[in-house]
């Protein structure tokens, strides 16, 4: 029979007798081999720091996850987690074991990916992640486009911040992510897909409606609504207009307010709380009755972003990546308006 042995980051398969496998298993502390499921439980628990959320992500009940984690701790004869009523903390040695468990899981997924690479690469689900400022505006166009191009490849879709998507791409929980450049990660390939300009969104009654274009410095004159910290789109706006950062850090700042999503910010602009800067795909000026919102382009040099896809270099389904890139390129993107020189 074939027996799997995990050594560091590698999985070795040997043809051995039943007795040999039993001897290998008895080399651990209890005579019981740990399972990939148990490793997945401790990795997820370390990420969530909460038994309930970890169980939900693993699609099991909380008691099931708790018992499995305790069983693994008993087998290893060490505590992996410090438990309290309000939180779960990973022990110092637990951190090392969780990191190794993550590597084992990555290698185990690679075995399945290697097996699938010999099959139809467009006949299995593709797990896609996208940042919050891209996903809601791209997916309504991407899903039907990809359904036509690869009807046998259903999509698992997730939205999140860049840091979270990066971690899930590395761990193998996602196959490919859609992000804004710059994005760098070891052993990850990126491919730019399209460029998108930013525009100023304002109430239809705003005094800037008569202008053809807006200069970045003019933003300091108005109450500016931005995403909260952690969103890369917020960082891109601040990078394009450094003076906003100075205003944001001023203790006398009364001009800048924050929202949790682009949708929330757009609603606040419609209610005349202020103005904002949005990517063209998220303007949504036609979503309100009575033309409550209007947008204006920036004067050159206009801020913009480059949207790209990123995937692990080892991902064995290049045809799926090609199909995704082609479908995104074919999606109708906002028509860039004529720029007005500064």
Buried residues in 225-244 as b, exposed as e (16+ CB within 10 A) = bbbeeebbbbebbeebbeeb
C-alpha 34 chain-centroid distance: 30
What DSSP designation does 170 have?
Answer: H
Taken in order of first residue, the domains within the chain and their CATH numbers are 2-117 (1.10.10.10), 126-192+308-330 (3.40.190.10), 195-304 (3.40.190.10)
- 144-202 pLDDT, tens digit per residue, is 999 998 998 999 999 999 999 999 998 888 999 999 999 999 899 999 999 999 999 99
Instruction: Work out the average pLDDT over 242-270.
Output: 76
pLDDT category of residue 252 using cuts at 50, 70 and 90: low
Whether residue 138 has pLDDT greater than 80: yes
Distance in angstroms between the alpha carbons of the first and the last residue of the chain: 74
* pLDDT (0 to 100) of residue 93: 92
Strand partners, 88: 83
* pLDDT (0 to 100) of residue 32: 59
The overall average pLDDT reported for the chain is 82
pLDDT category of residue 15 using cuts at 50, 70 and 90: very low
Instruction: Work out the average pLDDT over 314-329.
Output: 92
Tokens 């850090």 label which residue?
A: 249
Percentage above 90 pLDDT, the chain: 47
Rounded Cα–Cα distance for residues 225 and 258 (Å): 5
Upper half-sphere CA count for residue 51 (Cβ side, 13 Å): 18
- 77-111 pLDDT, tens digit per residue, is 999 999 887 788 999 999 999 999 988 888 887 78
Helices (H), the chain: 18-25, 36-48, 51-58, 62-76, 92-117, 135-149, 162-171, 232-240, 242-248, 262-270, 318-330
* pLDDT (0 to 100) of residue 198: 93
Whether residue 276 has pLDDT greater than 60: yes
Query: Picking from 11-25, 72-86, 142-156, 229-243, which range would have the lowest pLDDT averaged per residue?
Result: 11-25
For residue 246, count other CB atoms closer than 10 A to its CB: 12
Q: Which range, 145-149, 237-241, 286-290, is most confident?
A: 145-149
Give the residue with greater pLDDT, 171 vs 340.
Answer: 171
* pLDDT (0 to 100) of residue 220: 85
Whether residue 287 has pLDDT greater than 80: no
Tokens 């290698």 label which residue?
A: 107
Whether residue 230 has pLDDT greater than 50: yes
The SS3 of residue 274 is coil
Whether residue 332 has pLDDT greater than 50: yes
* pLDDT (0 to 100) of residue 7: 41
Residue 284 belongs to what H/E stretch? none
Rounded Cα–Cα distance for residues 69 and 67 (Å): 6
What DSSP designation does 120 have?
Answer: -
Whether residue 10 has pLDDT greater than 80: no
Instruction: Work out the average pLDDT over 230-237.
Output: 84
Whether residue 27 has pLDDT greater than 80: no
Whether residue 114 has pLDDT greater than 80: no
């Amino acid at each position: 029979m074939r027996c799997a042995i995990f050594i560091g980051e590698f999985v070795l398969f040997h043809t051995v007798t039943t007795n040999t496998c039993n001897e290998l298993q008895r080399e651990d502390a209890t005579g019981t081999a740990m399972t990939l499921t148990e490793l997945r439980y401790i990795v997820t628990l370390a990420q969530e720091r909460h038994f309930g959320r970890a169980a939900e992500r693993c699609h099991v009940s909380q008691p099931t996850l708790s018992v499995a984690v305790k069983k693994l701790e008993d087998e290893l004869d060490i505590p992996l987690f410090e438990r309290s009523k309000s939180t779960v903390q990973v022990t110092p040695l637990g951190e090392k074991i969780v990191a190794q468990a993550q590597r084992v899981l990555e290698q185990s997924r690679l075995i399945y990916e290697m097996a699938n690479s010999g099959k139809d690469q467009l006949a299995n689900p593709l797990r896609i992640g996208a940042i919050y400022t891209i996903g809601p505006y791209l997916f309504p166009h991407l899903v039907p486009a990809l359904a036509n191009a690869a009807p046998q490849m259903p999509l698992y879709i997730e939205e999140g911040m860049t840091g979270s998507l990066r971690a899930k791409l590395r761990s193998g929980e996602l196959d490919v992510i859609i992000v804004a450049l710059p994005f760098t990660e070891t052993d990850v390939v990126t491919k730019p897909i399209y460029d998108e300009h930013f525009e100023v969104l304002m109430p239809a009654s705003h005094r800037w409606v008569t202008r053809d274009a807006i200069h970045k410095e003019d933003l300091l004159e108005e109450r500016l609504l931005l995403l909260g910290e952690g969103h890369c789109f917020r960082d891109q706006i601040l990078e394009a207009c450094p003076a906003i950062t100075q205003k944001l850090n001023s203790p006398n700042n009364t001009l800048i307010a924050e929202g949790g999503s682009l949708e929330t910010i757009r609603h606040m602009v419609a209610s005349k709380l202020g103005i904002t800067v949005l990517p063209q795909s998220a303007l949504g000026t036609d979503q309100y009755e009575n033309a409550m919102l209007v947008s204006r382009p920036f004067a050159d040099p206009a801020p913009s972003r480059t949207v790209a896809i990123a995937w692990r270099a080892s991902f064995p389904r290049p045809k799926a990546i090609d199909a995704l890139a082609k479908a995104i390129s074919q999606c109708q993107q906002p028509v860039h308006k004529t720029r007005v020189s500064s």
